[in-house]
Structure 1
Amino acid sequence: MALDLKQGISKQITKLNMKTSTFLEENKIRTYIATLEADIQELKMKAGENGYTMWSAGRFDVGQLELLYQEIALKQRQIQEQEQQMKELIVKNQQVLGQGTPEVPHSPAAPVPPAPAGNVVFCPKCGEACAPTVNFCKKCGNKLR
């Protein structure tokens, strides 16, 4: 009986450790994705400003903008890779814990706006950037504190 209790506790601790490490890894990926999305928005603004400046000066050169476009495409590919990593992480976690069909988060249909400047708290459930003073996520309602 004591052996069963010890094994049960050990199994629960292992599950908790697995869930915690998965949670931390997911948040790290979400934060990185949010950073990449903010970088993309910044690059788009820069490309627009450069394009308008060249156009207004009467010497529009797509070649100068192409480097910015390539950098945007690279960051978009990095976002896709990170989303795939998160899906694989969730599937692996579900398999290790012996749970049924994994619940894989879907990427949002609309682009996520860049994170506001200053202190920001990211929702652990949906990855939404929230003000540090709020208690609940404005997107999904998850408790932040």
Structure 2
Amino acid sequence: MGEKKGTFKKWKEKVNEKVTTLSNKTSFAVDRSKLRKQIGVIEEEIKVLKQEIGEIVNLNRNSLFSVSMVNYQLMQIEAKEKAVALLEQEIEELNDRSKAAGVEEELIGESIDIIEVTQTFICANCNEFYDESKNFCEECGYKMI
């Protein structure tokens, strides 16, 4: 009888170990997926800003107003590109932490598509993130709209 308890205990430990590993893999994969979704949203916003620049330049070719509008759009693009770089850095750090924990990015990967994509708003002045549109940055007071 004692031998059966020992076997069950070993089996239980193995199951717990596998569950913990799977939980870690899932957690790291979800975190990576969230960051990549944020990057995708920001890159789409950059694309829209670049299209708006083209429209501004085309409509106001000889106007000083056009230059200031383009400069404003360029500042927003720069802020968003910095945000993308920071998110990519977070992904690298997450990958390093997952490797240190013995969890490789593979099994679950990016096949988890249950994460809702939300639009991110970023202050062009101080790079503060917001989930919703703001007229003014709550951090530095910069006019965002």
1: CA distance between counterparts of 2:92 and 2:11?
34
Identify which of 110, 124, 128 aligns with 1:124.
Answer: 110
Matching of residues 69-88 of structure 1 within 5 Å? 69-88=74-93
Query: Which gives a bigger RCO, structure 1 or 2 (Cα 8 Å, sep 6+)?
Result: 2
2: CA distance between counterparts of 1:59 and 1:74?
25
2: CA distance between counterparts of 1:12 and 1:87?
25
Choose 1 or 2 for highest CA Rg: 2
2: CA distance between counterparts of 1:19 and 1:43?
36
User: What TM-score do the two structures reach when normalised by structure 2?
Assistant: 0.63
2: CA distance between counterparts of 1:124 and 1:7?
29
Identify which of 46, 52, 65 aligns with 2:52.
Answer: 46
Give the AA of the match of 2:29: F
2: CA distance between counterparts of 1:70 and 1:25?
28
Give the AA of the match of 2:60: M
What is the aligned residue count?
102
Where 2:94 maps in the other structure, the secondary structure is helix
1: CA distance between counterparts of 2:24 and 2:98?
7
Match of 2:68 in 1: 63
Match of 1:95 in 2: 100
1: CA distance between counterparts of 2:96 and 2:10?
29
User: What TM-score do the two structures reach when normalised by structure 1?
Assistant: 0.63
Matching of residues 132-143 of structure 1 within 5 Å? none
Relative to structure 2, which stretch is displaced further, 6-15 or 38-47?
A: 6-15
Q: CA deviation at 1:83?
A: 0.7
Match of 1:23 in 2: 29
Q: Aligned-pair RMSD on alpha carbons?
A: 2.2
Q: CA deviation at 1:88?
A: 0.8
Match of 2:133 in 1: none
Tell me the alpha carbon deviations over residues 30-62 of structure 1, each in whole angstroms, 9 at most, x when there is no partner: 11111111100000000111012111xx22442
Q: Which runs of 5+ in 1 are unaligned?
A: 104-122, 128-145
